[in-house]
Amino acid sequence: MDARLCVMFIAALLIRLVLLCFGVYQDQNLQLKYTDVDYHVFTDASRFITQGQSPYNRSTFRYTPALALILTPNVLLSAHFGKLLFVACDLLSALLLFRLLVLRGASRSSACVCCGLWLFNPLPIGVSTRGNAESLLAVLVLSTLLCLESRRRTSAALLFGLSVHMKIYPFTYALPIALSLAGTPSRGRGPVRNLLRCFSKDLLRFAAVSGSVFFGLNAVFYYVYGWDFLQESYLYHLTRRDIRHNFSPYFYMLYVTAERHWSGALALVCFLPQLLLLSLSSLAFRSDLPFCCFIHTAVFVSFNKVCTSQYFLWYLCLLPLVLPRLTLSLRRGLGLLLLWFVGQALWLSPAYYLEFEDPQRPSKRKQTDRHIYCLVEALMTAVLELKSAEWEQTCLMNIIYTSEGFV
């Protein structure tokens, strides 16, 4: 490993260890706790497992039991084990990014710079040190892409099945992966031969291995924990509605219709824009799998009916892979980054007052919150419009080319 890269990893590790120590102090002395509430949920679920009970005895534990099993050392060894594990996964994600970038043709110096954008990004640093498990999933997703790039397809299938089991959103990568394994359609083959090419040996093996891992793990946990496993791990998320401080474009609509008898059906309808955009982006960008997965994740997060800060890590872990191939200028990139952070800060400020201050605060504060909402909406609209025209043109041309190839 290069000396420059070693220094970056050591500095990143020290920053995270300092924040872990500060988090212990903040949890003991301040009203606003540093540790994420989900970390306590994970630990309580692990405690139930060590006692021979179901992790779903802990209310709001809506994850696979595998996560609670992984974190049983929180109970048996130290309450800080999980945070250290997530920090280690955070650093491992950067190493996987470096290897992927070099494999994709980037120079080692530019790969170091792109890895630094992950290692020193305050969002993944904060999320992992607060005890959120998103870095664990980032390792699984990046490992899957690394195996696909290096043509280790069986290993990639195993990791992909495990990724989807841990959290359902990587399932959206199934279509881009299938298209990449099937190859590019040829205009001279005709539609029938192009369709038959989609059922290649590599694709069928990938589907069989990843499906076996996913359904095998689900069968085992269903046998042990019954319907609670399916309900809390998967089915709950289909109709989930978070009407508190989330970044979803649907949150206000779901908030005002929460008491309606048809609100559950409305929550399901919210998946339709996601489905349409994911299908189009798969056809448009299937030639570059990491970029297509990045677009998929960004679409899924942006148009999901529930979206909180840690969801941004789902596509931020893929951003360093696509940066070397973007034509975005440094000035525009910094401007977009500034808008993104300012929008988050403004959006989260009313959430803080809602959670930790008196909800019956003066009308002046309510007026300020309305101004913040309007400002954030304007900022996010500006961000979307900066690249929408260029993206639409590229997407349309790629879809036309793909359609011609099948015909």
Q: What is the mean pLDDT of residues 307-315?
A: 82
Give me the residue label for tokens 């301040």: 30
- Spatial CA neighbour of 237 closest among 75, 405, 64: 64
Give me the residue label for tokens 């046998």: 223
pLDDT of residue 358: 53
pLDDT of residue 268: 74
pLDDT of residue 221: 93
pLDDT for 388 beyond 60: no
pLDDT for 106 beyond 50: yes
Backbone dihedral angles phi then psi of residue 70, each to the nearest 5 degrees: -60, -35
Out of 92-101, 131-140, 211-220, 300-309, which region has the weakest mean confidence (pLDDT)? 300-309
CB 112 within 8 Å of CB 157? no
pLDDT in tens, 148-197: 999 899 999 999 999 999 988 899 899 889 888 876 655 555 555 555 66
Q: What is the mean pLDDT of residues 257-275?
A: 76
pLDDT of residue 370: 46
Is 321 or 405 the better-scoring residue by pLDDT?
321
Transcribe 237-266 into DSSP letters: HHH----SS---TTHHHHHHTTTSTTHHHH
Q: Could you tell me what percent of the chain has a pLDDT over 70? A: 79
Out of 39-48, 251-260, 353-362, which region has the weakest mean confidence (pLDDT)? 353-362
pLDDT in tens, 32-79: 788 888 899 999 999 999 998 999 988 888 899 999 999 999 999 988
Whether pTM > 0.85 for this model: the answer is: no
CB 280 within 8 Å of CB 303? no
Confidence of residue 280 (pLDDT cuts 50, 70, 90): confident
The full 3-state SS of 347-377, as one line of letters, equals HHHHHHHHHHCCCCCCHHHHHHHHHHHHHHH
Q: What is the mean pLDDT of residues 266-271?
A: 76
CB 136 within 8 Å of CB 242? no
Does residue 404 come out as left (phi exceeding 0), alpha (psi in the -120 to 50 range) or beta?
alpha
Q: What is the mean pLDDT of residues 248-271?
A: 74
Structure tokens at 277: 């955009």
